Amino acid sequence: MTALIEVTNLDFTYPDGTPALFDINLTIRQQEFIALIGQNGSGKTTFSKCLNGLFKPTTGSVNIEGIDTRDKGVIKQMVTKVGYVFQNPDHQLFNQNVHDEIAYGPRNIGLSKEKVEEQVAEAARVAGVSKDIFSEHPFFLPKGVRQRVAIASILAMRPNTIIVDEPTTGQDMRQSVEVMNFLRRLWKEEGHTIIIITHEMRIVADYAERIVVLGKGRVLLDDTTRKVFANPDVLRETFVEPPQITRLSQSLSEYGLPHDVLSVEELVAAFKK
């Protein structure tokens, strides 16, 4: 798979002198579905903002599709490479109607009117935002729809990588599944790389292919979902536990059950062997 983001020896310290990230090295490739996990304060949000160029490395480098984020004047290029959807969509919606919200990014980078409308239409279609609500104020829409509008505003910039911060926070089970299935569709059918920041390990087990575990600003684990959840001792260092079904299989390992079960179906199959 094509490498989209290369992180090399990344350290990041805030302007007040608070160190946040230490010696991070990893590669993010085209069409991956990655979960960033770790306790609050582990560095997840700081790291994600380094991945979209908002924060520049104190030392080391972040290279996004061939562009070094430390270079001057690259911010406009970054927004077309990596999109960031906030935990609360209200923090990024500020236009008076849905159409202008989705069109804001393409207009801001100077695309022609025809090109703006083309990308707005495509983003709305992919995100499931009906043209019937284009004239409505985003703040008067249900939260699930506001989130889709926020994602559409990112898609309109046509980034390869989309980072979504806590995609299921404040959603009931039905809404959470709807949001995550939508992200899966962007990944599987539209070819985007999806990075989610989440505390919901059940969501991680059901959707992510790869997990990056952060603890005290360092990468503790970076592997497939199955292999990461098979390391409960390391996860405990950052106060994360595997999903309940995985913990159950691990507690029954003396009976020959594997340590990397991710679903009830897998557990039942393991019992039958």
Are residues 38 and 63 located together in one domain of the fold?
yes
Give the domain CATH number at 189: 3.40.50.300
Are residues 130 and 200 located together in one domain of the fold?
no
More confident residue, 190 or 89: 190
Are residues 109 and 45 located together in one domain of the fold?
no
pLDDT of residue 20: 97
Give the pLDDT mean for 84-91.
Answer: 82
Are residues 235 and 250 located together in one domain of the fold?
no
Q: What is the mean pLDDT of the chain?
A: 90
Note whether residue 78 is domain-resident.
Answer: no
In the chain, the number of structural domains is 3
Map residue 63 onto helix, strand or coil: strand
State which residues form the domain around 260: 243-273
Residue 86 banded pLDDT, cuts 50, 70, 90: confident
**Distances from the Cα of 238 to the Cα of 58, 213, 217, angstroms:** 24, 8, 10
**How large a percentage of the chain has pLDDT more than 90?**
59
Are residues 50 and 13 located together in one domain of the fold?
yes
Are residues 95 and 120 located together in one domain of the fold?
yes
Give the pLDDT mean for 264-272.
Answer: 78
Residue 258 banded pLDDT, cuts 50, 70, 90: confident
**How large a percentage of the chain has pLDDT more than 70?**
99
Give the pLDDT mean for 80-89.
Answer: 86
pLDDT of residue 273: 67
Are residues 19 and 47 located together in one domain of the fold?
yes
Are residues 251 and 264 located together in one domain of the fold?
yes
Note whether residue 81 is domain-resident.
Answer: no
Give every strand in the sheet of 161-165, ordered side by side: 82-85, 161-165, 193-197, 33-37, 210-215, 218-224
Note whether residue 250 is domain-resident.
Answer: yes
For the whole model, what pTM was predicted?
0.89
**Residue 60 pLDDT exceeds 70:** yes
pLDDT of residue 85: 87
- Those residues whose C-beta lies under 8 Å from the C-beta of residue 236, and which sit 6 or more positions away, are none
pLDDT of residue 261: 84
Note whether residue 83 is domain-resident.
Answer: no
Note whether residue 62 is domain-resident.
Answer: yes
Give the pLDDT mean for 1-14.
Answer: 94
Note whether residue 80 is domain-resident.
Answer: no
Note whether residue 79 is domain-resident.
Answer: no
Note whether residue 82 is domain-resident.
Answer: no
Are residues 233 and 248 located together in one domain of the fold?
no
**Residue 127 pLDDT exceeds 90:** no
Are residues 256 and 218 located together in one domain of the fold?
no
Are residues 33 and 168 located together in one domain of the fold?
yes
Are residues 198 and 265 located together in one domain of the fold?
no
